[in-house]
Chains A and B, each alone.
Chain A
Amino acid sequence: MPKDSGIGASPKRREDVRFLTGAGNYTDDINVNGQAYVHFLRSDVAHAAIRGIDTSAAETMPGVVRVFTGADFEGVGGMPCGWQVTDRHGNPMQEPPHPILAQGKVRHVGDPIAAVVADTYEQARDAAEAIDVDLEDLPAVVDMKSALAEGAPKLHDDLTSNLCYDWVLGETDDALVDKAFAEADHVTTLELTNQRLVANPMEPRVAVGTYERGTEDYTLYTTSQNPHVIRLLMCAFVLGLPEHKVRVVAPDVGGGFGTKIFHYAEEAFCTFAAKACNRPVKWTSSRTEAFMSDAHGRDHVTKIELAMDKDNNFTALRTNTLANMGAYLSTFSSSVPTWLHGTLMAGNYKTPCIQVNVKAVFTSTVPVDAYRGAGRPEATFQIERVIDMAARERGVDPIALRRQNFITEFPYDTPVALTYDTGDYNGTMDKLEAAADIAGFAARRAESEKHGKLRGLGINSYIEACGIAPSNIVGMLGARAGLYDAATVRVNATGSISVMVGAHSHGQGHETAFPQVVAEMIGIDESQIEIVHGDTSKIPFGMGTYGSRSLAVCGSAMVRATEKVINKAKKIAAHLMEASDADIELKDGVFSVAGTDKSVAWGDVTLTAYVPHNFPLEEIEPGLEETAFYDPANFTYPAGAYACEVEVDPETGKVTIERFSAADDFGNIVNPMIVDGQVHGGIGQGIGQALLEGCVYDENGQLLSGSYMDYAMPRADDVPFYTVDHSSQTPCTHNPLGVKGCGEAGAIGSPPSVVNAVIDALQSGGNEVAHIDMPLSPARVWQAMNG
């Protein structure tokens, strides 16, 4: 029987009511008395020297408060990068400055040159058109190979080249890797592109900065996944403000998918300008601006080689990847192709020898950073595509080949720096085979063929590393941040509870799921517990939500803090019942003395904590509030297997997703409804990447996909109903809930199965196409079929 409350139940989401009635409070819904509006004048060319900016005409336009240029920010820090990667020779990556407004040069279409603050948006926009910018065009560097070529135009004059770093992981001895390949019975080689994507949360970014002259307090309202991180970066590295005088609020946030992790120039600008103009300053991104200023995702070009012995055991894997950084280093950009990608190249397989080579490259494009999955989709796509290709080359069943090479014993130390704690890859594959009715595929293919359609089945496995940690290890790897999280459990006198959490909910349903855990631990009704998040003035600290970390990391902090609360409450209960702490049991919100009929209710104990007339004051303090910081011992390792069935119209190349099935192992699950929803959404984005989406620049660095007119977002009729199975569960061994994280799995696991299915369909029609780069648009598929 499904539970109706606590861990494992699926209560309706409490946040839904406000969202369904128009009562949400998103950042653009926040207006501060007296606010002015900023419009950014952005570069319309990819690379140019700024010879002069004449703002005089704009300054006299109606309503204009002030016009800012890069010169106004010369004494101010630039946007920082939070992860220093060390290259294969032990040298730090090249790290160019990233000013709030362009100084000397513009380096991508959308780079902000000037900012107009005015009484209304319309006035700010009108005045921006009156700014005269003298730009001297410089050659754009768009393609990564060209950017690395000898004599290529340099994007950053102070750097030695456009190479950010050249990095290696795994077996660093080239001779040993060469030997493994030389001794192989078969080598499969695949060159592929993991195309540039735009995250596109439906809510565009917004920032509202305020400054109180009397108290010198700043407040920044912003669309962020991690308000404390924004406050720390902005105060310590950009504006040099005292952290205790700055409050950052991320209220209801309309989706993040990674792109709202990063500290953006517009946030620092609005905070800075609020003081400079002595007025609150608001910025609301248009979608067009979002395409040219939100950090993009993916954009890897890779050659992968897989070596196998005569029995089809994987013996070695080598990859060479060019990773696009864009024009500047966004907050966590450098970590994505390295520690979030290279470390996943073992996949679910016991390949003994792995070498990962990554060159990160600066180009005249929007900065690239983490987007749902962040490095792990890129790793999974390569591995699962090359295995599929190997299975075809060897004439073996792709599922059997995977099963043969699965890691089956845990813990497992990979050759690329991770220790997988638990997993059951055969178990999830079994679930998938049932959920996807793989046995019935042949009949469905025959049916499709009757209608003149080619039908294909694609499957893949995946593994991801979530809840990136522990802090001391990531610090050694170059992270300039800790990756713990924090929670405060504040019990009120009447027994209700506010839990202040460092995680941020922007669609994940924390306000519903987190109380389930606390309610289960104490045995009170979930409605007595509220979750507070998204405001640095209310929560102790928090690293925020990304990398599927909320429950695994912040949820663990919440459990620890709740345990502390329960321990203290037991002491109070023991005092009230004149018993020993050790004999106190807590069940269903009632404390009792073991072996007796004495009991005292939760509410009586909490009231006593705040009205301590009969209280062990010599032993403990009054009140009932505890905080815990939790720094995980390891990553968590969700894993699973996905299957996609497509029909391809041989006349047009149009691909239709007919069936999509997912079997994931997320360890223990707190709210199955929310977990299923997270997987659905990830699959939707993965299908988008596989079939529809692509951010395209021309050779001059012009952004060709700058709106929803030309960037194909998945619509309801591009996707089917999905079948998801989460019954294979190997709990995480090192966090108190045994949870692994589910937010990114769908986006990581789904692109390879879609592409594998299309290749299968085409080959079933006698077409020997080995690979097509995403997105598999009708034009690309038709071209592949018709040479």
Chain B
Amino acid sequence: MPQVSMTVNGKATSGDVEGRTLLSSYLRDHLGLTGTHVGCDTSQCGACVVHVDGEAVKACTIFALEAEGAEVATIEGQANADGSLNVIQQAFQDHHGLQCGFCTPGMVMSAAALLKDNPKPSEAEVRAYLEGNICRCTGYHNIVKAILAASGQDVGAIAAE
């Protein structure tokens, strides 16, 4: 079995994987980082979004071997150094941007990627960016609101929460 090595949340990791092992499986099954979720088989749901070398990637769409040598960031590495929630995570809690929590890791990772490229997105830009992240619980209202709030925009005027 080939060996793969990558840095995950700042730590060096390596493991023996099959050629067909997906990055999502490597993270969940080999490293025990079960915060990255798998909600579909067709790369639509976005529950598995992680960052690979700073880019948002669906971890179920690439093989672990394709991430050889990469810097990978997952939901487990997103909190502040003191363990407190980061700005995006805190905004999701403040604005009730999650219910069952299953899509949440992917939502937070996608939101981080969006705000890195577009620090003050419009509502329409947030909604368009989340095209690849499905949530079944929230009707998206509070997710969009949380991301706008995380970007520092005033969400007080948004239709009654």
Q: Which of B44, B92, B96 has the most CB of A within 10 A?
A: B96
- B39, A204: Cβ atoms under 8 Å? yes
Q: How many residues of B contact A (CB 8 A)?
A: 60
Give CA–CA (A24, B98) in the complex, Å. 13
- Of A24, A122, A257, the residue contacting B101 (CB under 8 A) is A24
Residues facing B in A238-261 (CB within 8 A) are: 252-255, 257
* Contact A673 B161, CB 8 Å, known A29-B34, A202-B39: yes
Any chain B CB within 8 A of the CB of A99? no
Give CA–CA (A184, B36) in the complex, Å. 61
Any chain A CB within 8 A of the CB of B18? yes
Give CA–CA (A674, B145) in the complex, Å. 15
- B161, A26: Cβ atoms under 8 Å? no
21 examples of A-B residue contacts, CB within 8 angstroms: A20-B75, A20-B92, A21-B78, A21-B79, A22-B36, A28-B34, A202-B100, A204-B38, A254-B101, A255-B102, A287-B42, A507-B100, A677-B99, A680-B138, A684-B138, A684-B141, A708-B134, A717-B130, A721-B159, A722-B139, A722-B159
CB A738 to nearest CB in B, in angstroms, measures: 23
- Of B89, B123, B131, B143, the residue contacting A21 (CB under 8 A) is B89
Q: Please name all residues of chain A whose beta carbon is closer than 8 Å to the beta carbon of B47 when the two chains form the complex.
A: 202
Any chain B CB within 8 A of the CB of A201? yes
Any chain B CB within 8 A of the CB of A699? no
Any chain A CB within 8 A of the CB of B85? yes
- B130, A19: Cβ atoms under 8 Å? no
Any chain B CB within 8 A of the CB of A709? yes
Give CA–CA (A204, B127) in the complex, Å. 24
- B44, A122: Cβ atoms under 8 Å? no
- B127, A254: Cβ atoms under 8 Å? no
Any chain A CB within 8 A of the CB of B74? yes
- A22, B35: Cβ atoms under 8 Å? yes
CB B79 to nearest CB in A, in angstroms, measures: 5
Q: Mark contacts of A687-713 with chain B using CB atoms, 8 A cut-off: 1 yes-contact digit, 0 otherwise.
A: 100000000000000000001110001
Q: Which of A713, A716, A724 has the most CB of B within 10 A?
A: A716
Residue of B at shortest CB range from A199?
B136
Q: Please name all residues of chain B whose beta carbon is closer than 8 Å to the beta carbon of A287 when the two chains form the complex.
A: 39-42, 45
Give CA–CA (A252, B100) in the complex, Å. 8
CB B37 to nearest CB in A, in angstroms, measures: 7
Give CA–CA (A191, B78) in the complex, Å. 53
Any chain B CB within 8 A of the CB of A669? no
Any chain A CB within 8 A of the CB of B94? yes
- B141, A680: Cβ atoms under 8 Å? yes
Q: Please name all residues of chain B whose beta carbon is closer than 8 Å to the beta carbon of A680 when the two chains form the complex.
A: 138-142
Give CA–CA (A68, B77) in the complex, Å. 42
Any chain A CB within 8 A of the CB of B160? yes
Tell which of A10-18, A48-56, A414-422 binds the partner.
A10-18
Q: Mark contacts of A704-745 with chain B using CB atoms, 8 A cut-off: 1 yes-contact digit, 0 otherwise.
A: 000111000111110101111100000000000000000000
Give CA–CA (A200, B20) in the complex, Å. 27
Residue of B at shortest CB range from A14?
B93
Any chain B CB within 8 A of the CB of A472? no
* Contact A13 B96, CB 8 Å, known A22-B34, A715-B134, A716-B143: yes
- A19, B104: Cβ atoms under 8 Å? yes
- A673, B96: Cβ atoms under 8 Å? yes
Q: Please name all residues of chain B whose beta carbon is closer than 8 Å to the beta carbon of A87 when the two chains form the complex.
A: none
Q: Mark contacts of B74-92 with chain A using CB atoms, 8 A cut-off: 1 yes-contact digit, 0 otherwise.
A: 1110110000010001001
- Of A18, A23, A721, the residue contacting B158 (CB under 8 A) is A721
Q: Please name all residues of chain A whose beta carbon is closer than 8 Å to the beta carbon of B102 when the two chains form the complex.
A: 24, 26, 201-203, 254-255
* Contact A286 B99, CB 8 Å, known A681-B138, A721-B159: no
Residues facing A in B96-136 (CB within 8 A) are: 96, 98-105, 108, 123-124, 126-128, 130-131, 133-136
Residue of A at shortest CB range from B132?
A715
- Of B41, B94, B103, B159, the residue contacting A202 (CB under 8 A) is B103
- B94, A12: Cβ atoms under 8 Å? yes
- B93, A12: Cβ atoms under 8 Å? yes
Residue of B at shortest CB range from A18?
B101
Give CA–CA (A201, B37) in the complex, Å. 13
Q: 18 extra interchain contacts, Cβ-Cβ under 8 A, other than A507-B101, A508-B99, A721-B145?
A: A19-B100, A20-B92, A22-B75, A122-B20, A200-B136, A254-B37, A255-B102, A287-B41, A676-B160, A677-B137, A680-B138, A680-B140, A681-B137, A713-B136, A715-B134, A716-B128, A725-B160, A746-B139
Q: Please name all residues of chain B whose beta carbon is closer than 8 Å to the beta carbon of A202 when the two chains form the complex.
A: 37, 39, 45, 47, 100, 102-103, 134-137
- A719, B140: Cβ atoms under 8 Å? yes
CB A129 to nearest CB in B, in angstroms, measures: 14
Residues facing B in A113-166 (CB within 8 A) are: 122
Any chain A CB within 8 A of the CB of B52? no
Q: Which of B75, B76, B127, B139 has the most CB of A within 10 A?
A: B139
Q: Which of B18, B75, B93, B99 has the most CB of A within 10 A?
A: B99
Q: Please name all residues of chain B whose beta carbon is closer than 8 Å to the beta carbon of A29 when the two chains form the complex.
A: 28, 34
Residue of B at shortest CB range from A682?
B139
- A708, B33: Cβ atoms under 8 Å? no
